[in-house]
Structure 1
Amino acid sequence: MAVQTGALDGRVAVVTGASRGIGAAVARRFAAEGAQLILIARTVGALEELDDEIRAAGGRQPVLVPHDLRDFDGLDRLGASLNERYGKLDILVGNAGILGPLTPVSHIPPKAWQEAFDVNVTANYRLIRSLDPLLRVSDAGRAVFVTAGAAEEHTAYWGLLAATKAALNALVTSYAAEITRTPVRANLIDPGPVRTGFRAAGFPGEDPASLPPPEALGDLFVELASPACRRSGEVVKAQQAVA
């Protein structure tokens, strides 16, 4: 079990895709570290269950935001709302993502292509656009996005995920290069094989028990989200980081 240190005490943190998998694990860990959470996901019931868990464990009551990230104008309203309520944002975790169909590139339906880019790339761009001013107000704004090894592996039938995550890598590392003279730092985490529904959809024959749980990523997310972190513009491979 990870030792909580209060590393994020009082830090205001947005987590997308927070209702399950990596997002839920990060939310629980950040809450244990003292963060004030704004949790975004489409599933209201799952957000409410997570809220109950966090409060039962003694964490600060999170703000629940049921929202489809493809509602881009809503992400602009999020920035305005956070500015009114907190006047800053300390941490942004862009975790939400979709796998899309595993199929030859020539067979990818245009609707599936658009949806994957909307969720995996455009939503994160709109989050940066909306929340960057609030991250800059923080004494140590930190942005962490979840990518995938597919961005670099060029595996047959994984072209859609690869394209979206390669685009996300380029977006975030470019953003990091633009904010070097600000208090903000931005990185990506490649979680590698982790016991999630996302992983199970891509590898249906794999034994989930053979994989580490999402909670194993907690220390790395805390490290990159903490004010002490000086890393920026990196794609951090979780399996190497914890080896």
Structure 2
Amino acid sequence: MGKLDGRLALVTGASRGIGYATALALAREGAHIIAVARTIGGLEELDDAIKSATGGEGATLVPMDLTDMPAVDRLGGAINERWGKLDILVANAGILGTISPIGHVEAKVFNKVIDTNLTATWRLIRSVEPLLLKADAGRALVLTSAVAHTARAFWGPYAATKAALETLVRVWAEESEKTALRVNAVDPGATRTAIRARAYPGEDASTLPNPADVAAKLIPLCLPETDESGKLFRVRDNRFFSYREPV
């Protein structure tokens, strides 16, 4: 018996990295996974991994670009028709854009980062919030980054989207305070992912934690007994931070 038997989890950016590892970890705990990503091959690999790990059914695969906003809107309706609720949301999908001075960022790059990291996540929240509220203990995790707080030079578009996402999390948590829904931001820290490799091409990736290490820390945050909301969970510290304390 898994800790999440009978629960339904939607994971974005599920074809690789932290999204892939988290989807697999949730499935191992008994959750049925709705896996969203652009890369069909990666989704199929996840499906095979879930079947191998659980000995049961695979995931529900949704090949989709989250910047297709009408498709995001339809996703909530499709989940409602089939399952009538959603227990867990892991909003992991995101892109880096370019590491560049703000004035040198091309408009099309800036807009794509904003659309993918921020607007699409808001649209996703809007689409599935009614389903999370139908669950007996809805849990939502939104992946963020330390650059949301450090305002690191050359990381303008990415940092801005993560700071905005954390504000959305705090607002959403306040709005959901009197419900069973709990909403938190998660900073996975430096992890062996494709985004990290692009940002730090000279870094020795073997010194970094694997996505599976991060995923293991996220599972407890999805359990009904985890009651924190409107906070930042920092994986390297393995604890929640209130936004009233320095992070």
TM-score by length of 2: 0.94
* 1:51-88 residue CA offsets vs partner (Å, 9 max, x unmatched): 01110122532100000000011111100000000000
Q: What is residue 244 of structure 2 aligned with on the other side?
A: none
Q: What is residue 149 of structure 2 aligned with on the other side?
A: 152
Cα distance in 2 for partners of 1:154, 1:124 equals 21
Q: What is residue 227 of structure 1 aligned with on the other side?
A: 224
Which of 69, 72, 91 is equivalent to 2:69?
Answer: 72
Q: What is residue 24 of structure 2 aligned with on the other side?
A: 28
Shift in Å, 1:159: 1.1
8 A Cα contact 2:22 2:216, kept in partner:
no
Q: What is residue 118 of structure 1 aligned with on the other side?
A: 115
Which of 197, 201, 208 is equivalent to 2:198?
Answer: 201
Cα distance in 1 for partners of 2:215, 2:195 equals 18
Query: Match of 2:100, SS?
Result: coil
8 A Cα contact 1:31 1:60, kept in partner:
no
The answer to whether 1:39 aligns with 2:47 is no
What residue identity is the alignment partner of 1:161?
Y
Query: Match of 2:148, SS?
Result: helix
Cα distance in 1 for partners of 2:19, 2:216 equals 14
Cα distance in 2 for partners of 1:173, 1:219 equals 24
Q: What is residue 91 of structure 2 aligned with on the other side?
A: 94
What residue identity is the alignment partner of 1:79?
G
8 A Cα contact 1:15 1:23, kept in partner:
yes
Q: What is residue 134 of structure 1 aligned with on the other side?
A: 131
Shift in Å, 1:45: 1.0
What residue identity is the alignment partner of 2:47?
D
8 A Cα contact 2:132 2:181, kept in partner:
yes
Shift in Å, 1:231: 0.7
After TM superposition, list the pairs within 5 Å mapping 1:159-238 onto structure 2. Answer: 159-238=156-235
Q: Which runs of 4+ in 1 moved over 6 A?
A: none
8 A Cα contact 1:34 1:60, kept in partner:
no
8 A Cα contact 1:92 1:144, kept in partner:
yes
Cα distance in 1 for partners of 2:96, 2:136 equals 35
For structure 2, list consecutive stretches of 5 or more residues without a partner in the other structure: 240-247
What residue identity is the alignment partner of 2:65?
D
After TM superposition, list the pairs within 5 Å mapping 1:5-20 onto structure 2. Answer: 6-20=2-16
* 1:108-155 residue CA offsets vs partner (Å, 9 max, x unmatched): 111111110111111110111010000000000000010011111111
For structure 1, list consecutive stretches of 5 or more residues without a partner in the other structure: none
The answer to whether 1:239 aligns with 2:236 is yes
Cα distance in 1 for partners of 2:65, 2:26 equals 22
Which of 66, 81, 85 is equivalent to 2:82?
Answer: 85
8 A Cα contact 2:97 2:157, kept in partner:
yes
8 A Cα contact 1:69 1:75, kept in partner:
yes
Cα distance in 1 for partners of 2:75, 2:190 equals 32
Query: Match of 2:10, SS?
Result: strand
Root-mean-square deviation over aligned CA pairs: 1.0
How many residue pairs get aligned? The number is 238
Shift in Å, 1:172: 1.1
Cα distance in 2 for partners of 1:7, 1:112 equals 41
